[in-house]
Amino acid sequence: MGAEVAKVKFRLTKRQKQIFPLLMFGAFFEGFDFSTVNLSLPFIANDLAIDTRTAGYMLSVIAVGTLLSFFVVRMGDRFGRKPVFLWSVVIFSALSLLTAFTPNIELFAACQFFARTFLVATWAVGFIIIAEEFSVELRGRALGLFQAAAAVGAIFPALLMPVMTALGLGWRGLYVIGALPLVGVFFLARNFHETDRFMKIKQYNAGGPGFFAVWKQPYTKHMAIISIIWVLLYFCYITAQSFFSYRAVNELGWNEARVGLTIALGYTIGILGYFAAGKLMDGIGRKPTAVIFLICGSVFTVCAFQSVLYHHVALFMILSTFFVGVFTVIGASFTNELFPTAIRANATAWGNNIIGRLGQVAAPAMVGTMAFALGSVGNAVSVMAMAPLVAVLLILFFLPETKNRELQDFVDGPGGGRAAEEQ
């Protein structure tokens, strides 16, 4: 069965062709913004006159904005996936434009704080839409393709930074470019539609699910495990992506060209990781794929942050990006496939946007603090990079395999309605 599923050709239906461009556009600029702040961190710190510890705290403050996305994402179970996704794209684009003109660290952090809320909402709801619009045979590859769009977006800041610098705009020019989704929404939103699955359950779920619906039986155990896994994945993912350019510039003495080239190569080759992971998830399953990518991602990240020679650092960072980038696809796959449509957005909001993002919030500040105790940013990130190894154990022992799992629409239990299988 697994081999047959993996051989199904990936083709978009007419309905999927209508929504896919805007989904990919939103994912592209989510990756663009995330990469921009990481790539620009040493230059933002220099321009706004802040030190290493303050830079780490600033990233943590900005990351707190991701927690607010909990309230935005869970609206998707009440008002629909479409309006939440579209408004999130519009708002984060406007805030990106405002960021470009911030004169101090306080306003920069404020703009990016709220931008991060709606960037994460765009990403989370986009994953939900993909999961609900694609059949079980193609879902893994579709999820991988969606995240690949974010990876493509993450390449462009590195490519555009030298251009922006030559034009005298620097990192501020990147945030102006980050406002382009405002134009994309204007042209693409007219063909964007609500998912059939949400429309199917809407009449039975008019008031939306209860605040703690995902924590009730039979979903309690899976909700707890998924939440912990998200925290562990963010410990590695966020620190590796956030502090690479900072370490390269401040501890290894790299220049902008060397940093930009390595990041661009990492994200370019990393795109292949999403396609490989999507193919493997539909072929050998979610759990084996998770084991391969989480272990390799952890090991190569430690190697990248412990190496000092340019070619060694660059090679290991490229390999790290290939595997670590897929962490979000793995987490989103389990989250979306283990919970029914009626509470799927709430499961994502709780697991990723509240509890999971605590890892993202805490990680930069933890690195900034540990760097002093351990002697370097490289050592601090290496410690954080080992967290996915614990996630591997949780996945192996506490989560079911979700490959070929039909999505459920209605909540189990009294009054929960019936389970509706995919057509």
Q: What are phi and psi of 212, to 5 degrees?
A: -110, 25
DSSP string for 241-310: HHHHHHHHHHTS---HHHHHHHHHHHHHHHHHHHHHHHHHHHHT-HHHHHHHHHHHHHHHHHHHHH--SH
Q: How does 223-248 read in b/e, with b if 16+ C-beta sit within 10 Å?
A: bbbbbbbbbbbbbbbbbbbbbbbbbb
For tokens 């619906």, the residue is 213
Average pLDDT over residues 249-263: 83
Residue found under tokens 């283990």: 338
Q: What is the pLDDT of residues 329-367, one digit of tens each?
A: 899 889 989 998 888 888 888 998 889 888 877 888 888
The domain defined by 13-398 folds into: Growth Hormone; Chain: A; (1.20.1250)
Q: pLDDT (tens digit, 9 = 90+) per residue, 180-232?
A: 888 878 777 787 888 888 887 776 655 556 778 889 888 999 999 999 999 99
Average pLDDT over residues 222-247: 91
- The predicted model scores a pTM of 0.75
* pLDDT digits 0-9 by tens, 83-92: 999 999 999 9
Could you tell me the pLDDT band of residue 3, with boundaries at 50, 70 and 90? Answer: very low
In sign, the C-alpha dihedral spanning 130, 132, 134, 136 is: positive
The percentage of the chain sitting over the pLDDT mark of 70, rounded to a whole number, equals 92
